[in-house]
Structure 1
């Protein structure tokens, strides 16, 4: 209401600037006005409107606020009252800008996440996390963009400048201010969130103040438009209000954003004489967009184009002097920042981040923003069920499969094509891993049947060759661990079609893969770990029901025999059968099945690890296996160190055994060996010997060992070859030894 009163006040003031004769002429011309959707002012009312304020009120009631201003401006121009018309137009533009800023803030500040109805109203200001963005000056030649493996830690090289959303259009080191910026990123890297951030900062007046207007076009929505003019495109950005013509007059203060440019699917090849230079000329959408890109329309305006790497080649045909900025993902500090922004609770955020940080593969994948979001979502579900993530059932494979499911939904318009595309993609990934390749030539893409422009960008980044270079484009997976995941999937994915690749095609022989890993190819560790994760029953069901592909369970037998054989083979006749490879525990944790774990460990009696730095993830894998291992008799750890669990991550005090809490357990600080000791107290444990030699034990470790001595029914021998226990530590051990349930016979 206040805005309407202001508008009518401005109109009334303009009418007061007319002479009495001009005022009467204005009223006469009003009788001839025809306004679509409005009412003509009756003649008797016009005759009664003898004052400018009365006439302004009549016009407002008949034409509405915008209509009244437009009619007045048109009539004043017709009467050659240009100063008054300019005054009204200036006020209209000022009011439009204010309303448009409010519209932008409302539209872009709040957004809804894709899964949870509980998170319907999320603020971009509270959720947006700093991304690593590298700007490269191209000068007409298209260098490698989008090829970083996880990106955030990649070397930038001499032609690269690190930028932020605030500095995308700031002068570079040469003092040149970029007029056109192409922001490149793989799916899930945060392109649209970055656009939202830019729009909100502009609407709030905190950044990008060099622009009076920023018009953002969502290319997915725009793709359904057949024809339009430039003015109509601008009007789509604020559909509830007509765009005053003067808005586009000051070109240098306008920024156009095309978000998700690849969705338009334009070839952008068009003769120059077909381009448009008229703002109001209606032409095919591709012509209008190309006219903006080639600077035929509004040549002094600025452009920000976000796209997947696949659209770079077509963009390169029509842009000149543009700067390319690549989103590399979350650097290390931003990953932690994102966890805190997601949980909005420092304690939960620290617990979740520590869990992710302890898993090297998972933490590396968290450089991809959408993966960080998925990890947080999954861990939030776990934290809602229990106080601790120590027994979290979400494996790296399950998180990666969730990411694959998200990618499949991104390309859901051609889901069946995607399902046929997947085996070919996996074949390329496996071929690359075997040959130590992370970049693939165009002929390799074609050889594997992957030259499908609608699907390829979902999984691979495209590196566009320089002009004048004969070789084609080069492609790489968005992250090395994703290539390893798809390579593992190659061995277990059922496909009904003949694999493309000719006589030299890779064979699906899991035994060859596992044998090579055992002998010399330790670089295959992540791939083998994914293999075990994919063969879990949960993964098989998830792939079938959610992703729409079938994973064959037949490999489980080969994998079981391989794990059993690698430990039997390391023992001589008459020796005890023991596990001395830490990766065995990780493989079993990734499979995460009790029966499979027991089948592997059945007949083995000892653990013997030496000189290992046991991360929290290592300890979780070890603890998981110990809980399923009833035949375990002896644990020997020599020269091993333990990453300390965060004291803020509470572990259920009842312990895995369900035994009553030891009376002094809660009084001591968390110990590095807490996870190990609590796993050893699992029901059915028959452990007899525990050796922790030169493992940097301290007083807090003695507290945990005291509880273990007091509660374990069969532990008979404890060896602590470490001189750092101290008198207080020894006293804590003695308290455990004095308990009636203690069965220890040897203490060294």
Structure 2
């Protein structure tokens, strides 16, 4: 994760250190609603107003949802002329210098057809702008530089679509991480306008860890603010209960629209019929990759466009034919919500069976969000607010969805594929989280679960989901989160459940001193089961060692502690030495390699460890010990009552001292340099 870098939008086509080149093909990835489309719109605006990327003379912007409507083969020239008809006469000159052209394709995950850029798959390509080919062949050819060599291409997509793409097709892959803490607060301030109201609403959301975490996503942040606004503006009392899941958040949004965006509250059956019509339209679109609907689609599904529906559907006037109007859902995620909701409102066994079969067989994530909503709506408390407006949900669908989730076994969920298998497991955990069915999760996970998400980037919302799964488990044998980049907020979400874990590894997460308080709370928990704790390769310093030492004194379970490659130095060691010399200390394995220890700290350390009756394995490699502390090391090796292995390599001992210390090796004690 040390290779991760923060990058501003105006640097997407600057030098990339990972690919060691100026990128021509860039992928911007991000979960639903995090702002991919907004980013490219801002990118184009800044280019058009002269703020950046003036090396591009022309920027061509296409949406895959619009390209889906093109069924016949086209040439790149005809695609450009259809969207930018004013360029028709000038197009040959425009395309003369590809280095000055940027093509942006938004929403690869919304594409109806595959780009055919899978690993190891032969693919059709074209070479000339006038070649007539399927649209996806044109896009692939631009990416592969067989068409308009030297042009730049920017794509956006949900992460699930990236798994199957050929490695190296993109020179840079960037991920939108959403709002950080200060940005969430600023969004609330801008949304509400009134400083007092925004502060009160944000404090309310901040008190709900789950809701606050969900607000990293700009779309969810907007939905949260929209749902809360009437409560705080009109002082009508705060909503109860607070949404705990994404499904509950969308339920709150839909009920808010029904309660506040209709002139008079219609009877439940009429409201139900409206949502059913919209739902089947949404479901048809999801299963057939249709995101833009003309008037005929609305008529076929008995959808009457009304002011009420503007909370979910928007009109899209066509640039080339002002008389033609198309419709789309406010956001793809809203379409996915209604596609799941309709099965509960209007259960049809054959349709439900067919849709579930497609969702189960799909490996590219097209049904991920839909499945989460389907799981979420099975929970009684989640659907209750909507049932007040539209009547009871189908009990049969709830039973089938719960049955589907119950059929999963943890052994089957564990996959040798990396990182695809780990990402799929996290998606299943999202299903569990949305279902809020703790008994079901407990039964599926079994006892003494092992979880390994190492090298998978986990956002704070992923940590919230993982914490829920941990809360449903009696015991976790092993939790490995190495190089997950969880940082402070992620660890804060996990903290309430960490005491259940026997072996916890948090290597290489850039954790800093403030997060030590969360680790210490787990160590101090009265039911703490931690036996092995790995905190190496982080950014801890001597400043947090007093707090850690205090927790270790209270803890009675820890047997292995790895602190390697943290800047503990002599100040931190002085606190920890008090722990190591205590007769209550039970640590058997201690890793202090690369922690900045020097001769000045060696005497204190060796004195403390020589009194420790449980320590068996000690690693002091890669510090800055010299011959000056040879006597202290000599004393430690001779007097330690339980030591069976000590590692001292990569220090500054002379060959003579190394040989001298090595000569102290005996049966039952290995000394490594």
TM-score, reference length from structure 1: 0.44
TM-score, reference length from structure 2: 0.48
The higher radius of gyration belongs to 1
